[in-house]
Structure 1
Amino acid sequence: MIVIKEQRITVVGSLNMDLVVMVERMPRRGETIHGRQLHTIPGGKGANQAIGCAKLGAQVSMIGAVGSDAFGDKLIERLEACSVSTEAIVRAGDISTGTASITHTPEDNSIVIVSGANLRCSSELVDTYRDRIGSADTLLVQLEIPLASVRRALEWARRSGVRTILNPAPAVPLSRDLTQLVDFISPNETEFEILSGTTWDDEESLAQAMRQWEYEFGARVLITRGDKGCSYLEGDELYTISAPNVQVIDTTGAGDAFNAAFSVAVSQGMSIREAISFAVQAASFSVTRFGAQDGMPVWEEVLSITSTGT
């Protein structure tokens, strides 16, 4: 029996209904191809990460918005079934619930988001539920809601001394005054290229880009690298926690599983290396199941996966 300390995590973020089309390969530009199946699955980076945290034993509250429609009903039902508090999720009557159209192949996926009611996750909504942020151990945010709302949530967290984690997806260039409100930022490789405006050819040039970004923007960078694992700096040295080999079924929720697990682990008091290793294991387990939320592991499942570091 694994005993963990329950932590309070507040997620300010998106709720989407994922419309997943299964195909053998990605269509080329202008090409029409046949799909194999269509799945309608609760999602959104915010909701996925909230459920991921809850399944790992955290006490989770979510701030967000859905439409007054069937998709919104299903999203809230799903969160409540996973023990996520939905009292700070509002229902918008003038706009539909957000959607994500996902094209899924055996190797990869691409995603197109229609924000919908996520645009109603406003700064005013964040202000209304600021007590949910101030009473948390960790605030977890993404970029599928208005940037002004992300900033407001980070500001409330900083005032209260709450740890902050930003998953910058979908990536946009960020200002220094915003990133200085962030303790940890977790882009994937493509997102870090957008954030930093740089590319790299090898590990040393990646390390240099990370050093420069951390120096200029303040937040500590954790770069998720798919089956390569996660890279981070300890001092000036680049370290990579490698991902274990697993049978991949669906990579859609891997990044969300990483962010949820890292948030829980660091809130538990693990070292950064331990928390990253735990998060890499969680992400690796998540890809062995279909569906982002269904793929989120519980604590024992994370520990059943082994990762290595260099």
Structure 2
Amino acid sequence: MKIAVVGSYGAGLTMRVPKAPGPGETLTGGEYAEGPGGKGSNQAIGAARLGADVSLLTAVGDDAFGAAARRLWMQERVDASHVIIGERPTMVGFILVEPDGENRISIAPGASDELGAQDVQAFAENIAAADVLVVSMEIPEEAVVEALRLGRTHGTRTLLNPAPARALPDEVWSQIDVITPNQSEAPILLGLSPDHALSDAELATLLRHRTGGAVILTRGGQGALLCSADGIEEIEPLPVEHVVDTTGAGDSFTAALAVALSEGSDLSSAARFAAHAGAHAVSIAGVIPALPTRAQLPSITIGTRS
């Protein structure tokens, strides 16, 4: 099973705090740590840990964070031979984590903003050879658009993790086979106001009408909704005894979903497998330590691809 990933890499600078400060407020008592992050890299590592043959396209700076990233990808057996070395510093994300595990993140994109359509075109052979192409949106729109276009051209199943959410060009929607927004991202993708009155099922249905593919709307502790040609199915939440850190849950979910789909699992079974990966991630502090191995998750059910 081969997975190609187009997305970001960044260093995560995390502070665990008693509470998030308000405007003009300074608080002490936080605990600081730094480590690798970026949705593309996280998803690539997550898929590799689950046994996939993964190639990654991203951009990093010619700096210590970029060098650390290359060492990490080698250690995790991710093919990073196409990674771009940009002129700007490696992307950095500042993360505040509260005691209940909720997080607030601010990102300085740096080198990630240098990833362009021509870089994606140079990655076309990897996309063509993959069973699933995973694209996330911490990179320029032109790179997202070109990756999805090439996926469709080469007949590779495309999985878009639309984070951070923003409006997409009309021509992109038909190139998405599976899209995985959360509850806050879905309305943004649809151009709705924050005070919209639509239910999660209605949001998922509208997104499905735009893509013609499948929508998996993730809902945190409420599980997920799968909207496909077979209708709407609720993916039940999994009990987690103690939520430690939600930062990497979405990336863990996406990586596991891609792996399951690349192995031929049906959408429902793949979403349930991904839910186990997401639940595992929230029980462990830090993103990379929280990404599960195959032995830490139940077996994937292989069904008819839908």
TM bucket by the smaller chain? Answer: over 0.9
**Residue aligning to 1:96:** 89
Q: Distance in 1 between matches of 2:232 and 2:191?
A: 19
Q: Distance in 2 between matches of 1:235 and 1:118?
A: 35
Q: Distance in 2 between matches of 1:208 and 1:244?
A: 23
Report 1:126-205 matches (<5 A). Answer: 126-198=120-192, 205=199
Unaligned runs of 5+ in 1: 1-6, 305-310
Report the number of matched residues: 296
Q: CA deviation at 1:287?
A: 1.2
Asked if the contact 1:176–1:217 (Cα under 8 Å) also holds between the matched residues in 2, the reply is no
Q: CA deviation at 1:201?
A: 5.4
Letter in 2 for 1:11: V
Letter in 2 for 1:89: V
Q: Deviations over 1:58-114 (max 9, x none)?
A: 00000111000000011111111100011011212x210000000111220011111
Letter in 2 for 1:42: P
Measured at CA, do residues 217 and 71 of structure 1 come closer, stay the same or move farther in structure 2, by a change above 3 Å? same
SS at match of 1:151: helix
**Residue aligning to 2:278:** 283
Are 2:58 and 1:59 equivalent residues in the alignment?
no
TM-score, normalised with respect to structure 2: 0.92
What is the aligned-residue identity percentage?
37
| Aligned partner of 1:265 among 251, 260, 266 | 260
SS at match of 1:293: helix
| Aligned partner of 1:105 among 98, 107, 123 | 98
Q: CA deviation at 1:35?
A: 4.0
Q: Distance in 2 between matches of 1:155 and 1:222?
A: 21
Q: Distance in 2 between matches of 1:236 and 1:206?
A: 17
Ranges of 4+ aligned residues in structure 1 off by more than 6 Å: none
Asked if the contact 2:183–2:200 (Cα under 8 Å) also holds between the matched residues in 1, the reply is no
Letter in 2 for 1:193: P
TM-score, normalised with respect to structure 1: 0.91
| Aligned partner of 1:23 among 17, 20, 33 | 17
**Residue aligning to 1:12:** 6
**Residue aligning to 2:41:** 47
Q: Distance in 1 between matches of 2:134 and 2:163?
A: 12
Asked if the contact 2:159–2:258 (Cα under 8 Å) also holds between the matched residues in 1, the reply is yes
Unaligned runs of 5+ in 2: 300-306
Asked if the contact 1:172–1:194 (Cα under 8 Å) also holds between the matched residues in 2, the reply is yes
Q: Distance in 2 between matches of 1:157 and 1:216?
A: 18
